[in-house]
Amino acid sequence: MCRNIRTLYNFDPPATNDEIRASALQFVRKLSGFNAPSKANEAAFNLAVQQVSEAATTLINSLTTFSPPRNREVERRKAAANSAKRFGTPVPTGNPTA
């Protein structure tokens, strides 16, 4: 599994179309082995990204849960702590989008 693909379901706020498309792009890149397809394969590559995005959106919108939505910031901090533990790097502080 590509480590750049993140769980998008059951978050508050919900995943955006851009996040779903970025995940689909990573998935298609992984499957095809292309970071950027050749001109000959560009149409097929872009179609695959569109179709995977649509399928992912359908899936996310169809799922149900009784669990409360997860908080993105809390999950981000957990991931940073796990990464620091695994790789021995300091846990970043402050606003990651600044």
> How many domains does the chain fold into?
1
Q: Is residue 3 part of a domain?
A: no
Which pLDDT score, from 0 to 100, does residue 97 have? 54
Percent pLDDT > 90 in the chain is 62
Q: Is residue 16 part of a domain?
A: yes
pLDDT at residue 31 greater than cutoff 70: yes
Q: Which residue has the higher pLDDT, 5 or 74?
A: 74
Helices and strands of the chain, counted as H and E runs: 3, 2
Q: Residue 26 sits in which domain range?
A: 11-87
Mean pLDDT of all residues in 12-31? 93
Q: Is residue 83 part of a domain?
A: yes
Q: Is residue 24 part of a domain?
A: yes
**Contact between residue 70 and residue 10 where contact means Cβ atoms under 8 Å apart:** yes
pLDDT at residue 94 greater than cutoff 70: no
Which pLDDT score, from 0 to 100, does residue 88 have? 82
Q: Is residue 95 part of a domain?
A: no
| 53 closest CA partner among 10, 17, 29, 5 | 17
Question: Which class for 13: exposed (0-12), middle (13-18), buried (19 or more C-beta within 10 A)?
Answer: exposed
Q: Is residue 69 part of a domain?
A: yes
Q: Is residue 92 part of a domain?
A: no
Which pLDDT score, from 0 to 100, does residue 1 have? 46
Backbone torsions φ then ψ of 71, nearest 5 degrees: -90, 125
pTM: 0.75
